[in-house]
Structure 1
């Protein structure tokens, strides 16, 4: 939602108790009731963003239409990460059955010895499972925790600066990366503590630590994009197409040594292609990207999709121009007459009215001159605020798109 000065704001319209089975039709009725309570016309709803739950997706499509539904980008990234690092039976959600989170489950040492015969995916799970066994040992052993702090204090850290091991939270995929990063950061101290406690589990080997380090490196782009998109104070849908392409390029250029990390990278690329294969065909995303002066057409992989977005915006501009002309013509139908002027000027007034009705802006190649000029201007710096750029540049009288800015801002 935009305020009158084009500042992005968010607000809570309601928390609704569901008294029936949460079917798509029932949720659709609740959404309609909420809109009615706030006097929101359905035509004024540009887009509805939801997770990928079948019932909520169906509800939005029933009430607002398929073209106005947009799956949550961050939630889709969550699915990609959780399917690529299959530590649980299902993608990360509220209720999951753990595969490696059982306190009494031990590592099968034969699996580690036969690592060369396991698949890369199996090896990665085994290495993470072994690491989690060590972390759980520290969580249960006050002696181990005390020794871990003691070694860090000896090295000059203050008590409040000592780092402790952390476990992942199975409803948040990026907590796995945080768990591995912390383990790698203090692995030297962990190893020394394990050596002095007879009942401790075996430490991860140098080869296993190398694999875990590369696993973190492979997951890092997904974590950065998730953080980038988790915002309420700035527009994000215009970044989706650029970020998907940048993820593909980043993973395509990523060099890895271990077969486990390389396999993880390939799985991530597979799921990115699977979930985002038609991302450029989503009209609201394509239009938002095109109208962002930082991106325009630079991140479209499909020339056809870019052309379709340009054509759609061009049609919007033509419709708005015709609407403005129609209003102007209505005013001119009954102009204030000055009887002292020669009646010949009334003929001129009639001609002007007819010309304005038939006027179509210059559209060489089917693109209005206003849009063509916008597309030909240089891209603005990536760190610029697109809304600030739009309000400061597009609304200048000399800039052709200023007439249509307030209409196109919804994208």
Structure 2
């Protein structure tokens, strides 16, 4: 029996499916190369099944997926195109500000200076942040080396210092001195100061510090133990928690803003589930007792407003310099009017208010 004609027609249409023109293929490859560069993806992304399926679906089978070597060769041109477009935006803008910080990658062990430019989009009445390419910092992070790296960056993009309104960094001595050597107005990062105030308050509070240390150790235990982490998920499932709401403990990170607040909040949510896991595993790690849980809950009420202020001042699409002082004063007023329910909460409140007062007194006034 002969095969139905519609099957043959379908096969012929599939075989005759056209590919992109040379011009469209090159444009698509440049777009993929741009995605790899700006989203920090690896070149083997283009060889993965998911990407190939997405590309074929969007192009209706017309895009020819090339190998990672092809996009490796395109990388340098993509970087230059991004730099050129970035420099053009800066040259066409009025005054703008800079934000900079140093970071170190663990694998591989490399240190970078990261600089972001902030310009005002007058058409849309909002701020636009643009990241410069990270600068490899082979030398120690002295004020002189930071100043040298920033000057090299400004020369590369042909940026005049007269157009830079201010530079924002943390309050480290090397950063403050680097801004002075650059002859730029320095604005300290208030979120960084607020984070330090919270950490110092916990350190000063003798009744809270051991409990926070216990939480850090407990989070590290679950992070090291796949069996404990898997059992925590399983216990939540048994207790009727939906899959999308199942959580793990937050790992301690001293330099991450609001980390202590997030860690305490997560443990208060998972407390009963964690207790059940520990009982099944034979209690391999100490847990906070009921008194410490009450203390944590009370102190969390003071940590939460600090997190809300940090989130507000972290906005990248609106100016924050004009709201920093009023926001911090409102935070001080809110903390002052809050009534602690425990002795530990009262001590933490006193330390927090004292350290907040110190950072506000030491803040450098912004010059307009």
TM-score strictly above 0.5? yes
- Following superposition, the deviation at residue 69 of structure 1 comes to 0.9
In 2, the alpha carbon distance for the partners of 1:130 and 1:75 equals 25
Give 1:23-34 correspondences, 5 Å limit: 23-34=142-153
Encode CA deviations 1:115-159: one digit per residue, 9 max, x unaligned.
xxxxx8222122223344444454455554455334432332234
Work out whether 1:250 is the aligned partner of 2:334. Answer: yes
Work out whether 1:267 is the aligned partner of 2:351. Answer: yes
- Following superposition, the deviation at residue 70 of structure 1 comes to 0.6
Alpha carbons of 1:221 and 1:24: their partners in 2 closer, same or farther (altered >3 Å)? same
Alpha carbons of 1:200 and 1:283: their partners in 2 closer, same or farther (altered >3 Å)? closer
Contact 1:168 1:178 in 2 (8 A): no
Alpha carbons of 1:13 and 1:204: their partners in 2 closer, same or farther (altered >3 Å)? closer
Give 1:232-311 correspondences, 5 Å limit: 232-277=316-361, 279=363, 282-284=365-367
Alpha carbons of 1:198 and 1:10: their partners in 2 closer, same or farther (altered >3 Å)? closer
* Structure 1 residue aligned with 2:315: 231
Q: TM-score, normalised by structure 2?
A: 0.60
Encode CA deviations 1:224-252: one digit per residue, 9 max, x unaligned.
11111112211111111111111110111
In 1, the alpha carbon distance for the partners of 2:139 and 2:281 equals 56
Please, which moves more after superposition, 20-29 or 232-241?
20-29
Give 2:245's match in structure 1, choosing from 137, 152, 161: 161
- Following superposition, the deviation at residue 220 of structure 1 comes to 1.1
Please, which moves more after superposition, 9-18 or 270-279?
9-18
- Structure 2 stretches lacking a partner, 5+ long: 1-118
* Structure 2 residue aligned with 1:80: 197
In 1, the alpha carbon distance for the partners of 2:144 and 2:122 equals 34
- Following superposition, the deviation at residue 16 of structure 1 comes to 3.2
In 2, the alpha carbon distance for the partners of 1:142 and 1:71 equals 41
Contact 2:143 2:174 in 1 (8 A): yes
Contact 1:169 1:175 in 2 (8 A): yes
Work out whether 1:71 is the aligned partner of 2:188. Answer: yes
Give 2:301's match in structure 1, choosing from 214, 217, 220: 217
In 2, the alpha carbon distance for the partners of 1:174 and 1:129 equals 16
* Structure 1 residue aligned with 2:121: 3
- Following superposition, the deviation at residue 31 of structure 1 comes to 3.0
Contact 1:121 1:263 in 2 (8 A): yes
* Structure 1 residue aligned with 2:165: 46
* Structure 2 residue aligned with 1:121: 205
- Following superposition, the deviation at residue 218 of structure 1 comes to 1.4
* Structure 2 residue aligned with 1:359: none
Q: Greater strand percent: which structure? A: 2
Alpha carbons of 1:149 and 1:277: their partners in 2 closer, same or farther (altered >3 Å)? same
Encode CA deviations 1:174-200: one digit per residue, 9 max, x unaligned.
222212111111212222333344343
Higher CA-based Rg? 1
User: RMSD of aligned C-alpha atoms?
Assistant: 2.7
- Structure 1 stretches lacking a partner, 5+ long: 87-119, 285-410
Alpha carbons of 1:208 and 1:42: their partners in 2 closer, same or farther (altered >3 Å)? same
Alpha carbons of 1:155 and 1:20: their partners in 2 closer, same or farther (altered >3 Å)? closer
* Structure 2 residue aligned with 1:328: none
Please, which moves more after superposition, 76-85 or 147-156?
147-156
